[in-house]
């Protein structure tokens, strides 16, 4: 069940974490890492493949009025998309460390899709809900996913990497 199925939340944006699929974590490692970020996070809809590797989960942070759906994709489709994203983001980037990051990005064949949701308040208090909404859950989880996989977080809407 996705947060899209919960009428208390609305989708805001999607981020990617691209990485080498050989570094795909287990569901247990994901749960431990994310739960360790904040004791108030609620992890639901946790799924693994038959080998125990992470497939998907949802993170709900009531105190931040936020939630995340995280899912894994891998294979040729991800490789092609990663190469295209790297080419688009690289542009006229200088050599050195930045060039190495874009090479890693272009070679990625694993991806986490991180869908960010905001808790919807009553219709009459939408401005108030925006004031309570806190993106820190998204930022903390993205950092944890990057650390866990050695990957690179990408904001595809802005066309930027987050590291």
pLDDT digits (tens, 9 = 90+) for 33-52: 999 999 999 999 999 999 99
What would the two tokens of residue 34 be? 């994310």
Whether pLDDT at 68 is above 90: yes
Whether pLDDT at 130 is above 60: no
Q: Do the beta carbons of residue 142 and residue 16 sit within 8 Å?
A: no
What would the two tokens of residue 128 be? 């108030």
Q: Do the beta carbons of residue 128 and residue 16 sit within 8 Å?
A: no
Task: Please give the backbone phi and psi of residue 141, each rounded to the nearest 5 degrees, phi first.
Answer: -70, -40
Q: Is the overall model pTM greater than 0.85, yes or no?
A: yes
Predicted pLDDT of residue 103: 86
In which residue are the tokens 């739960």 written? Answer: 35
Whether pLDDT at 60 is above 80: yes
Give the side-chain half-sphere CA count within 13 A for 108.
Answer: 31
Mean pLDDT to the nearest integer, 96-123 = 85
- Strand runs (DSSP E) across 54-150, as ranges? 54-61, 66-74, 110-119
DSSP 81: H
91: left (phi over 0), alpha (psi -120 to 50) or beta: left
Predicted pLDDT of residue 132: 75
Predicted pLDDT of residue 100: 78
CA distance 68 to 14: 9
């Amino acid at each position: 069940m996705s947060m899209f199925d919960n009428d208390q939340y609305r989708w805001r944006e999607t981020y990617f974490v691209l990485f080498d699929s050989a570094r795909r974590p287990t569901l247990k490692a994901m749960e431990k890492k994310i739960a360790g970020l904040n004791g108030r996070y609620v992890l639901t809809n946790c799924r693994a493949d038959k080998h125990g590797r992470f497939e998907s989960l949802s993170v709900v942070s009531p105190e931040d009025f936020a939630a995340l759906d995280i899912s894994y994709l891998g294979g040729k489709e991800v490789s092609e998309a990663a190469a295209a994203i790297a080419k688009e983001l690289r542009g006229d980037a200088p050599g050195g460390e930045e060039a190495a990051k874009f090479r890693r990005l272009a070679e990625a064949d694993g991806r986490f899709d991180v869908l960010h949701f905001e808790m919807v308040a009553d219709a009459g208090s939408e401005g108030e809900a925006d004031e309570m909404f806190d993106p820190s859950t998204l930022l903390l989880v993205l950092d944890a996913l990057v650390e866990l996989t050695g990957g690179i977080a990408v904001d595809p809407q802005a066309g930027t990497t987050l590291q």
